[in-house]
């Protein structure tokens, strides 16, 4: 079980990594470790739950479908993505790992 948010962050990896830190009814906290990944072309996430994301290290660009430009996020930047808001990851830093903290929540 992962007990430190930064465990394994510097280990090289080709694949993006997703670790559930907490799962409770209506909420899930996930650690995401990206290494240059992005959403596939023409792919949009369209989730039934809201997602609050925080970049802890590295950088990324997240595009919301209704916005003309992607939002570039760096350490300390966060974004609340409402449920059913189509979005995609345009890029993540290829030169260093991007560490995200994502909180998924149900909207009643």
- List, for the chain, all residue ranges whose pLDDT scores fall below the cut of 50: none
* Res 17: pLDDT: 92
pLDDT for res 13? 76
Please state the pTM of the whole predicted model. 0.91
What the block records as the tokens of 47 is 């989730």
Question: Residue 80's domain is classified under what CATH number?
Answer: 2.60.120.10
Q: Look up tokens 């966060």; give the residue.
A: 78
Whether residue 11 lies inside any domain: the answer is: no
Residue 1 domain-assigned (yes or no): no
What pLDDT score does 47 carry?
Answer: 95
**For residue 11, what pLDDT is reported?**
75
pLDDT of residue 1: 63
In which domain, by residue range, is 40 found? 17-105
pLDDT at 44: 97
Spatial distance between the Cα atoms of 54 and 31, rounded to a whole number of angstroms: 10
Parallel, antiparallel, or unpaired: how do β-strands 71-73 and 78-81 relate? unpaired
**What pLDDT is stored for residue 107 in this prediction?**
84
Strand 71-73 and strand 60-64: the pairing is: antiparallel
């Amino acid at each position: 079980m992962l007990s430190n948010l930064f465990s394994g962050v510097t280990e090289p990896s080709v694949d993006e990594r997703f670790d559930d830190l907490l799962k409770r009814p209506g909420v899930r906290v996930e650690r995401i470790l990206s290494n240059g990944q992005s959403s596939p072309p023409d792919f949009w996430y369209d989730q039934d739950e809201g997602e609050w994301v925080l970049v802890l290290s590295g950088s990324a660009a997240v595009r919301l479908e209704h916005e003309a430009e992607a939002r570039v996020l760096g350490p300390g930047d966060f974004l609340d993505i409402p449920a059913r808001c189509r979005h995609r990851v345009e890029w993540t830093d290829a030169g260093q790992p991007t560490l995200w903290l994502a909180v998924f929540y149900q909207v009643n």
